[in-house]
Structure 1
C-alpha cells in the first residue's frame, strides 16, 4: 500500500539523505531497514522506482532532519511496522510513524513548503568575537569585487588532522559562554529584531544563483520563493547560548540556506554592508557568498497543505501533529546536543568566523 513515512535523523556521519552508490546515506540505511522489516520485497529491493520511492527533501552531508517524509509502496502488516523498522536502524535514525496516502501521492512533488531551522551560536553574531587581524587566506576569486569567504570545510582541511589535533595557523576555540563576559555583547530584543530584518531580505521571489554552486545565473531554477525568515529567542544547550533562524520556502537549492545564513551573519557582524543583498540577487552579478557550517542546519517539517485540503474527506492528514512530542524529544536529546557538543569540542563556528573579514566585502 502507498504510505507516507515520517522520519527523524541526525545527519552526522552520513553523506546526505539521498542514496549514492558507495556512500553512507540516510536513504540507504532506511531502505535496508525496511527490507529487513519485511516492508520491501526481495524482488524490488535496490530499485526505488519499482516501489515509487520519493523523499520530501534532499538534505546534504551532515544535515539532520526532525520531520522528513518518505513515500512509497510498502508492506505494513502485521501490526508493529514502526517497531520492526526501528529495530534495524541506528539510534540516530528513527521512524516516527506512517499514514496511508493516495496512489498518486509523492512526498516530493506534493510538498507545498519546507521549513528549515538553523541553530546559530550567539557568539557568532557578536561583531567582536573571533576576529583575525590579518587574514592569511586569500579570497577564492581575487579578481571579483567580492571574493568567496572561506568555508568551514576549507578550514577543516587546512587546520585539523585526522586525529582532531589542530596543526594549522591558528587554533580557534568555542567561546559559547565567554562572549558576553569578554565583549559585553548580548542578544536581546533589539539584536533579534535586527537579525530578523536582515533575514527579511530573502523573503519573496528572488534569484539565488549566488547562494548555490554549479548553476548559471540565467538558469530559471535559481528563482525561488521564500515565505518567511525569522530569528527566534535565545535558548541554552549544554551551557551554550543559541538562536534559531527559521525559514519556510517552497524548495531550496544546494547549500542555499547555509549561504543565506552565512551572508546574514556577515552583515550582522558588520563584515558586509546590507546593500550587498541588492547585488546578490541581480542576475548580471556574480559574487562570493560565505557558507555557514552544516552543523547548525536541519529540516524541521515538510508541509502538505493543498493535498490535505483536497483529500480531507477520504485520507488522514500528512502532517507531524501526531508526533509533536516525539519530535521535540528527538531535537532535545539528539539534534541540539550534537550541535552544542560538536561546537564545544571542535569549534566549528569559531573556525568559520575567522574567514569573515571586511576586506572580503567592501562597500
Structure 2
C-alpha cells in the first residue's frame, strides 16, 4: 500500500440490540424467573372461517389467532412479539383455506416460569391458559420440551391426511343432457370407444325422472323442469308462474332426498379403491400442484399408505373416508388426487390415465372441494429416537386421542356434514365439471369432418380443459378384472419385490442361455481346431514320409 493511500475503513455492523422505538428503550423489564425453552406445541383446529394455517399479515389465520393468545398469556415477550421468526417459529404441516387439522405441531422458543413446577404442571397450566382464551374451534393439546435442533417441518418423517367424501359424488353426468354425457358416448370424441355405457348411472336418472312423473304427471313434470326464474315484475306476479315456482321447489326437495339416499355399489367402490391405489409409491406429482415442472426434483413424492374405508351413513347421507399416509405433500396435491380418482370412476376411465398423469404430459386436474380434507396428525419416527436419547418425551399423538376425538366430533365432522347439507358443495362442483362441452365448434362438425381428425387433434382444439377424461384411450372394460388392490405400502413393496425377483430370474435365465451358447460355440470351435490340428499333423507326417523316401541311400 502506498503512503498516499488511506487504509480501508471497516464496515460498521448494525446494532440489533434495540427496537426502533422513539426512546430506544426495552418494552418490558426482564423477569429472572422466566426461562426460554425450545418446545413442541401440539394443537388441533377446524379451519372453517380461516384463511389457512400460516400467519399472513392482516388475514385471519390459525397461526395469527394462536400467536396473539401466546402474547396475551405471557408466553412470548413483547420484544419478540413483532416477528414470529425471533422465536424460531416452524410449523409441521401447512393447511389451506378451510382445511382442518385434528393434530398439528409447531416448534418454537417459549418463555416459562419453571420455579417450583414440574414438567407436567407447566404443560397443564399452558393448556388451561391457552384454551381459556382461544376460540372453541382451536384446541391446545400439549406443550413439551424438545432438543435445540428439533424442527417441526424437517424433523417430521411423514403425515397422515384424511378426506370425507359423500358417495353421491360418484353419480355420473345427468342423462340426455348436452355436454359430457353425450360426448362420452360418441366415438368421435371418446377416443374411438364403441361400447361406452354406464347402466348403473342411467338407472339412477331414469328412476329420478319416474319419481317426478309419478308426482306431477309427465306434461307438468316437463314444464317444471323447463321453468326458469324471472326477475320481471309482471312475470313474478303471474299466478301460473308462482304455482310453477312452488312446484319446482317441491321437485328440487324430492331430487335432493333421492340423491341423499344414494348408496355406492360394491363394484364402484372397488374401482375407486383401485384408482386410489395407483398413487402408492414414488411418483412425479407435477400435475397435482401448481408451478411445478416435470423435471423438478421436488415434484417427486412418496405415498406410504392409502386406505378407502367402508362407507358410513350420517343424517341419511352415505360418506366414505379416504386415509392417505405420505412422506410429504405439495399445495393442492391431495385435493387433486381425490378429484382425479373420482372423475376417472364417474367417466369410466382406465387406471392407466392416472399412471399417464405421472409422465411429462400436462393434465389440467381440478381441485376437489377443501371441505372434506383434514390433517389427522404428523408422525415423528426418527426424531422421537433422538428425543428419547436426550431424556425428552417422544411426540405421541395417541396421548391426546380423547381430545382429538372430541374436536373431530364437535367441530370438524359436524361442520363438514352441516355445510354440505346446506350448500351442496360436492354436487355443485361435479355438476360444474359435467357442464363442459368438448368444444361447441367441434360438436357442430359433420360426422365426416370428425372422422377425418384424430382424437389428439380434437383434444388440442377443444376448449374443454378436462377433455382428457372424454378422450381417454382405455376404459374400465380394458382393466384387468379382479385385480389385486394394493391399499398399503407393505403390499406395494411386496408387489415390487415380486416384480424385481421375476426380472432377476429372467436375467439369470438369459445369462445361463448366453453361457450355454458360449460354451457350445467354444466346444464347436475347439472341435474344429482339434480337427484342423489333426489335419496339420497328418500333413506333416505325410511330408516327413515323402522326404524319407526321396533321400539317397549312402554306401556302406
Q: How does the TM-score come out when normalised to structure 2?
A: 0.55
Q: CA deviation at 1:235?
A: 2.0
Q: Which has a greater percent of helix?
A: 2
Q: CA deviation at 1:228?
A: 1.3
Q: CA deviation at 1:307?
A: 1.0
Q: Is the 8 A contact 1:123 1:176 kept in 2?
A: no
Alignment of 1:218-297 (within 5 A): 218-270=295-347, 272-283=349-360, 285-297=361-373
2:259 equivalent among 164, 168, 179 = 179
Which residue number corresponds to residue 72 of structure 1? 108
Alignment of 1:50-65 (within 5 A): 50-65=86-101
Name the SS for the 1:355 alignment partner: helix
Distance in 2 (CA, whole Å) between partners of 1:172 and 1:54 is 48
2:352 is aligned with 1:307: no
Name the SS for the 1:321 alignment partner: helix
> 1:352 and 1:173, CA in 2 relative to 1: closer, same or farther beyond 3 A?
farther
Q: Which runs of 5+ in 1 are unaligned?
A: 137-144, 147-170
Name the SS for the 2:414 alignment partner: helix
Which residue number corresponds to residue 350 of structure 1? 427
Q: Is the 8 A contact 1:173 1:347 kept in 2?
A: no
Which residue number corresponds to residue 131 of structure 2? 86
Which residue number corresponds to residue 272 of structure 2? 195
Q: Which moved more, 1:210-219 or 1:271-280?
A: 271-280
Q: Is the 8 A contact 2:126 2:143 kept in 1?
A: no
Structure 1 residues 90-140: Cα deviation after superposition (integer angstroms, max 9, x where no partner): 111111112211111111110000010010011112336x6782349xxxx
Q: Is the 8 A contact 1:7 1:67 kept in 2?
A: yes
Name the SS for the 1:247 alignment partner: strand
Q: Is the 8 A contact 1:113 1:303 kept in 2?
A: yes
2:177 equivalent among 124, 127, 133 = 133
Q: CA deviation at 1:178?
A: 2.8
What CA RMSD, in Å, does the superposition of the two structures yield over aligned residues? Answer: 2.5
Distance in 2 (CA, whole Å) between partners of 1:203 and 1:49 is 36
Distance in 2 (CA, whole Å) between partners of 1:48 and 1:174 is 53
Distance in 1 (CA, whole Å) between partners of 2:175 and 2:426 is 12
Which residue number corresponds to residue 146 of structure 2? 101
Q: CA deviation at 1:29?
A: 0.7
More relative contact order, 1 or 2 (CA 8 Å, 6+ apart): 1
Name the SS for the 2:106 alignment partner: strand
Which residue number corresponds to residue 36 of structure 1? 72
Name the SS for the 1:266 alignment partner: helix
> 1:11 and 1:176, CA in 2 relative to 1: closer, same or farther beyond 3 A?
farther
Distance in 2 (CA, whole Å) between partners of 1:3 and 1:35 is 16
2:63 equivalent among 27, 30, 33 = 27
Q: Is the 8 A contact 1:5 1:70 kept in 2?
A: yes
Q: CA deviation at 1:177?
A: 5.5
Name the SS for the 1:87 alignment partner: helix
Q: CA deviation at 1:76?
A: 3.9
Q: Which moved more, 1:113-122 or 1:47-56?
A: 47-56
Q: Which moved more, 1:272-281 or 1:259-268?
A: 272-281
Q: Which runs of 5+ in 2 are unaligned?
A: 1-36, 115-121, 181-189, 192-250, 439-466, 473-556
Distance in 2 (CA, whole Å) between partners of 1:89 and 1:64 is 16
Structure 1 residues 275-328: Cα deviation after superposition (integer angstroms, max 9, x where no partner): 211221002x10111210010101111000011123324111112111001101
Q: Which has a greater percent of strand?
A: 1
Alignment of 1:162-177 (within 5 A): none
Distance in 2 (CA, whole Å) between partners of 1:67 and 1:76 is 23
Name the SS for the 1:356 alignment partner: helix
Distance in 1 (CA, whole Å) between partners of 2:253 and 2:347 is 21
Name the SS for the 1:337 alignment partner: helix
Q: CA deviation at 1:180?
A: 6.8
Alignment size in residue pairs: 326
Structure 1 residues 165-206: Cα deviation after superposition (integer angstroms, max 9, x where no partner): xxxxxx99897763375xxx5336544433222111111111
